[in-house]
Amino acid sequence: MTGTAAVYERLILVAGFLGGISFTALVPLLQSSYVFEPIGWGIWGVIYFDALITMVAGVSVAFILSSIVSVSLAAGTVEANQVKKRDNVASNYFIVGWLGLLIVIPLLLVPIVWVASLIVGILEIILFRNMFIP
C-alpha cells in the first residue's frame, strides 16, 4: 500500500462517516418540523426550514460523493492520466461538504437557542481562521 492510497482510505472513512451522520440528521429534522420551523417567523420560518433541509441534504450528498470518488483512487484502479482529476473532484466535494457543515450546524441551533448558534458560529470562524491563516 502506498502513502497516497492510505490518504484516500482515510478520506473514504471520514467522508462516508460525515455523509452518513448528515443524512441521518435529516430524519429527525423531517419528523420534528415543529421544533425546527419557528412559529413566530411567519413565511420566513417556512423558508428557513426548507433551506435547512436543502443544506443538510446537500452536505450529505457532497460527503457521499467524495467517498465514492475516493474508492477508485484508494483501490488504484484509476488510469494515470485521470488520477489528478479525480483527486481534485474528491477533494472539492469534501471541502464543499465541510464548509456546508460549518454553515448548517449553527443554523440547526437558531430556533432552539439563538445565543448558542451565535457562539458556535464565532467558534467556527476562529477555528477556520486558525486552520488556514498562519
Of 43, 92, 32, 39, nearest to 66 by C-alpha is 92
Angstrom CA distances, 44 to 47, 50, 54, 95, 111, stand at 5, 10, 15, 29, 12
Residues 36-92 have pLDDT tens digits of 666 777 777 788 888 888 999 999 999 999 998 888 888 878 787 888 888 888 889
User: Are 111 and 37 spatial neighbours (Cβ–Cβ below 8 Å)?
Assistant: yes
Q: How confident is the model at residue 3 (pLDDT cuts 50, 70, 90)?
A: low
> Residues 110, 119: contact at Cβ < 8 Å?
no
pLDDT mean across residues, the chain = 82
Own/partner pairs for 103-107, CB < 8 Å, 24+ apart? 103/55, 104/22, 104/52, 104/55, 104/56, 104/59, 107/48, 107/52, 107/55
Neighbours of 98 (CB within 10 A): 17
- Helical spans, DSSP H, in 32-82: 33-36, 43-75
In which residue are the cell numbers 441534504 written? 57
